[in-house]
Structure 1
Amino acid sequence: MALTVKQIEALKPGHERYQVSDEGGLIVRVSPSGKKSFCYVYRVNGKLKRLTLGVFPEMSLAKAREEAGKAKAARDRGEDPVEAKKWAQEAWKSTPTVAEFIEEYLHRWARPNKKSWKEDQRLLEKDVKPVLGDKKVSEVRRRDIIYVLDLIKDRGSMVTANRTFAVISRMFNFALERGVLDASPATRIKMEAEESRDRVLTRPEIKTLHQLLNDQPLWISTRMALELILRTAQRPGEVRQMTTDEIDWQERMWTIPKERSKNGVAQRVPLTDEVLSMIKVARSFSSSKWIFPSPQTSGPISTYALAQGLRKALKGSGLPRTTPHDLRRTAATIISELGFNRLVVDKILNHKDRTVGGIYDRHTYDAEKRQALEAWEAELEQILAGKVDNNGKVIDIRQAQG
């Protein structure tokens, strides 16, 4: 039962310390001296642990509940709040190394603020920590960062160099905010120009890619997730993190909650018969809530796994470089070619409509989206069967045989 401030004020000290429970794991501990402490209690591997949050009334009940909520969110992410507090206290004793501050950046900023924090972690651990990890943050110079970026560029990964620099820059700005640095070494470094990604696969390329994906010994979650990006036109990150509780089997609908949607708007995706069938097959290989589980971790497959799967499938094929997002763009483009208007395509893609009409329009467009996705599925089946040319025209069977 939720406590009130008056109830806490009325708690009297006893001969021994005792505690009173609030909600969400929050408790109030009353010592024989009359000191009243807010604590968050939880279990790790069956062992009860307690995190002290503050002392009443210096810490208000509302603030204590807020801090308990943060601790619970950390537990949900798999972290141990007590160990995190110990680590933070140790980190403040001296200027951290880059490796130590990477952990602080991930814990204090990236995880709470970025849905894609795991990508930050991957980039930092792959290319930054091995080169700069042992240096003190205060010892890093602009030249050191340029050296890290040059190593990435030398292996031909220009886009990765830009993404890594963006994370490095954010991390050192965070070091400024935390008082670790007085100036960032990441200033006045120019990012490399990138080609605008506008690749749309031709119909013959779609057929070839589909065959390549099936011929490669890819992890089944990777292969099926890539195909579902193409079939549903949804974002790769939203597809790979699909869970069983997001699927309405009766209504044949997949609801992406706003917490997982890139633009913060919930999305309803009508599911065609083939997509539903694929999800059921993928689900049969999973023992967790994830439709596309990772073979290495307890979570879903990673963004890297999708990109790597495509690279493996395309290697030596002669097809141009293709990214998971290109599959989404391809689907949207062909749906438009099938005669569906831009509004319906934008609804399928879950693009925000910032016009006045869009702000007041609360129509779900579920029926229109279903019609478009079913037309796209029919077209895709024709493509995979080799029955249409690159313009979507039906191929004469005798001509094809000839």
Structure 2
Amino acid sequence: MDRRWGRVPRKETFDKNIRYAFTRPLEWWGKRPVCEITSSDINELYKAIVAEGKPAQANNVRGQLGTFFVWAMHDDREYVTANPCTKMLEDDIAVEKADIEDGRVLTADELRTFWFGLDRKVCPGSRLARLALKLSLVTLLRTGECVKIERGYVTAESVTLPLRIVKSRRSKKARPVVQPLNALAREILGEVFTIGDPNRRWAFPGKDEREGEHMTQQGLGRLMARRTTHKGHQGEGICEYLGLVNVTPHDLRRTAACILEQLGYDDKTIGKVMTHKTADKEAAPVTRERYLVPVQIIARPVDVRVKALDDLDAALREILGLPKAGTKTLPPTTKRLPKAA
């Protein structure tokens, strides 16, 4: 199919993840005709995967099977006459879900441990992989977006993620993601392109640069989570090395969002920085529900009035041509303030 961003498969999300989702059903049912698969077969497979402690995988497999049977029922094909993936009751799905919290937020001490620990030469992973994690923290971009940054789309002020790699690319109103870069992000990207070929396509190339591949989001996740106690381990991961418990790459994004809230920013602004959009382009509810949690990170949350007045100060100085604010403070006074009338 032709799209604004190029020619794509009709099923745009078809990739190795979807192929992997069908591996288990094919092994489970063997050479049975597809028209003989019943809802009982689907539920049996679903419960078997959940029993292995893999609820997310079970839901993914069931969702992909449902999409497949809808496709197979189309008038042009009619490979099956009914969809065995009947809609599950919400209570049934909730029972099967893993009983874990939706991520966590790093404390100030953990942030320091993480940031400076990544700079140690003996820290697990390549230097580029560790810089990708840092970049996600300071830009609030998803790690899956950070690894897809292309050299030609990086400027001194921002980085652009074109439509062909943005998750919302199937939306008719989809636009490329243009994320501003702060000073820390510019420092990180500056170092990134001093490693290896500075003119390469991807900022974070994969193991075999000749194939033109970039690092993967899953690879960064495994790098953080792997343990020496895991079967067939490849050495300790970043969390085990740094002594951090259950930290995922996405928790870095959640931590940065919580810091912004404690700096006085509202949900709408934080949602825009995180590229959470709804139909009216306001912040999506997911911003608060999934990211903003009551964990104190900075020493003292910023009063939004203080920030507003500081921004007014900076704007007036720019308009009037005054020098930027220095570090001078008001001299101490020994006079008593007059009592209020």
Preserved CA contact (<8 Å) 2:147 2:215: yes
> Does the aligned pair in 2 maintain the 1:221–1:294 contact within 8 Å?
no
* Matching of residue 200 in structure 1 with residue 112 in structure 2: no
One-letter amino acid of the counterpart of residue 290, structure 1? W
* TM-score between the two structures when normalised by the length of structure 1: 0.54
- Cross-structure match for 1:3: none
1:222–1:305 CA contact under 8 A, matched in 2:
no
> Superposition RMSD on alpha carbons, in Å?
3.5
CA deviation string 1:192-235 (max 9, x = no partner): 33556252222222233345655543244432222211111012
User: What's the TM-score, normalizing by structure 2?
Assistant: 0.62
Q: Pick the aligned partner of 1:140 from 13, 37, 41.
A: 37
How many equivalent pairs are there?
257
Larger helix percent:
1
CA distance in 1, matches of 2:124, 2:86: 44
Aligned to 1:268, what secondary structure does the other structure show?
Answer: strand
Deviation at 1:134, TM superposition (A): 4.1
* 2:204 equivalent to 1:305: no
CA distance 1:317–1:220, change in 2 (3 Å): closer
- 2:213 & 2:48 partners in 1: Cα distance? 31
Shift of 1:311: 0.8
CA distance in 2, matches of 1:141, 1:220: 50
Structure 1 residue aligned with 2:53 = 156
1:292 maps to amino acid: F
Which segment is superposed worse, 292-301 or 331-340? 292-301
Aligned to 1:248: 155
**1:339-381 CA-partner distances (Å, limit 9, x unpaired):** 334343222112226559x69xxxxxxxxxxxxxxxxxxxxxx
CA distance in 1, matches of 2:145, 2:258: 19
Q: Distance in 2 between matches of 1:285 and 1:166?
A: 41
Q: Which residue of 1 aligns with 2:196?
A: 285
CA distance in 2, matches of 1:170, 1:333: 36
Structure 1 140/108 Cα, relative in aligned 2: closer, same or farther at 3 Å?
farther
Larger deviation, residues 343-352 vs 259-268: 259-268
More strand by share: 1
The alignment status of 1:331 with 2:256, answered yes or no, reads: yes
Cα distance between partner residues in 1 of 2:243 and 2:223: 16
Query: What is the distance in 2 between the residues matched to 1:174 and 1:341?
Result: 43
| Residues 1:183 and 2:82 are matched in the alignment | yes
Letter in 1 for 2:224: L
Structure 2 residue matching 1:255: 3-state secondary structure: strand
Matches within 5 A, 1:2-401: 108-109=10-11, 112=12, 114=13, 117-125=15-23, 127-132=24-29, 134-177=31-74, 178-189=77-88, 190-191=92-93, 192-193=96-97, 197=102, 199-210=104-115, 213=118, 215-249=122-156, 252-263=157-168, 264-283=174-193, 284-285=195-196, 288-295=200-207, 298-312=212-226, 313-315=238-240, 319-352=244-277, 390-392=297-299
Greater CA drift, 203-212 or 239-248:
203-212
1:233 and 1:331 in contact (8 A); partners too: yes
What SS does the corresponding residue of 1:234 show, helix, strand or coil?
Answer: coil
Does the 8 A contact of 1:306 with 1:324 survive in 2? yes
The residue number in structure 2 matching 1:18 is none
Cα displacement (A) at 1:301: 2.0
State, as a whole percentage, how many aligned pairs show the same letter: 24
The structure-2 alpha-carbon separation of the partners of 1:223 and 1:135, relative to structure 1 and needing over 3 Å to count, comes to farther
Determine helix, strand or coil for the equivalent of 2:22: helix
1:378 paired residue number: none
CA distance in 2, matches of 1:182, 1:310: 46
Show structure 1 runs of 5+ residues with no match: 1-66, 78-106, 360-388, 394-402
